[in-house]
């Protein structure tokens, strides 16, 4: 996936050293965009191993409205949220899945309302595909203090043209070495699933970055990735019998033909 390697090179060549919330320090740039043609292949990083169960499990968990890291680990073996979870309960607060499925706001009469954004999104794609409001947001300013980690991938929009569904994500903060390849795979898969249940083909996935950075303790790992030659990208196979976005199971989604270089370890900055 050459777009990812070009992104790394862009940060190393243009980034500035900045302090950050974790105290680790970063090389940071602001504003960067990558485009992936989902018609041709599934954009899953091959210059280091990307673990399929992690992004598949996390996506299905979020679509279910899940907010418990222990439940995520038990069901899918996905450990990526454990660092931020309550150590006793595993809870993470009103993070992504809760905002997607139960966004709380106030109507014009001052009444609290609950919005299932995923249900609304799919309804709108099916009934008004030319809408410019095919949007889901996890960034709820009134509830940021109820989240153990405010959303990094905070806002995404869909676009329908010529029977194809495309998605653009805005990610306010991007841990390029550890997180970016998973974010790309996660939202590319979400685009496939929503296209499938809406009887559309896939178009593009567009990733737009805010603060795009490499942590200072990941520079050697990034350079190792840059030294590796990308391999052929895989494809996605989806169970054609599933018609509802909330009915997908892990086994209904298959990544076919994935080959990669070995995994590269890196420490998570919390």
Task: Name beta bridge partners: 113.
Answer: 105
Rg (CA), the chain: 18
DSSP assignment letter at 147:
B
Can you spell out the DSSP letters for 52-102? HHHHHHHHHHHHTT--BHHHHHHHH---TTGGGS-TTT-B-BS-HHHHHH-
Count of helices and strands (H, E) across the chain: 7, 10
Inter-axis angle of helices 219-226 and 2-14, nearest 10:
130
Is residue 7 part of the annotated active site? The answer reads no
Distance in angstroms (rounded) separating the CA atoms of residues 147 and 74:
21
Residue 220, classed as helix, strand or coil, is helix
Catalytic residue among 7, 152, 154, 167: 152
Nearest Cα to 172, choosing from 134, 141, 218?
141
Q: Using alpha carbons, select from 138, 137, 136 the residue that is nearest to residue 158.
A: 136
DSSP 140: -
190 strand-pairing partners: none
Cβ contacts of 57 within 8 Å, gap of 6 or more:
72, 75, 76, 77, 78, 250
Residues that are catalytic:
152
């Amino acid at each position: 996936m050459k777009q990812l390697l070009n992104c790394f090179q862009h940060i190393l060549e243009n980034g500035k050293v900045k302090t950050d919330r974790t105290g680790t320090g970063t090389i940071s740039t602001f504003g960067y965009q990558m485009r992936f043609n989902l018609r041709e292949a599934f954009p899953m990083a091959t210059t280091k191993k990307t673990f399929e169960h992690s992004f598949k499990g996390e996506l299905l968990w979020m679509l279910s409205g899940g907010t418990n890291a222990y439940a995520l680990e038990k069901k899918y073996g996905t450990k990526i949220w454990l660092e931020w979870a309550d150590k006793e309960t595993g809870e993470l607060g009103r993070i992504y899945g809760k905002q997607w499925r139960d966004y709380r706001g106030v109507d014009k009469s001052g009444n609290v309302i609950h919005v299932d954004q995923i249900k609304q999104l799919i309804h709108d794609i099916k009934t008004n595909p030319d809408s410019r409001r095919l949007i889901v947001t996890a960034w709820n300013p009134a509830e940021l203090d109820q989240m153990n980690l405010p959303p990094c991938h905070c806002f995404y929009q869909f676009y329908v043209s010529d029977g194809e569904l495309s998605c653009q994500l805005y990610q306010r903060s991007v841990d390029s070495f550890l997180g970016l390849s998973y974010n790309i795979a996660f939202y590319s898969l979400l685009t496939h699933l929503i296209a499938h249940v809406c009887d559309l083909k896939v178009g593009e996935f567009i990733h737009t970055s805010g603060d795009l950075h490499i942590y200072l303790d990941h520079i050697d790992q990034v350079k190792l990735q840059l030294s590796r030659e990308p391999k052929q990208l895989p494809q996605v196979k989806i169970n054609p019998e599933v018609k509802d976005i909330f009915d997908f199971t892990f086994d209904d989604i298959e990544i076919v033909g994935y080959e990669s270089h070995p995994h590269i370890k890196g420490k998570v900055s919390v």
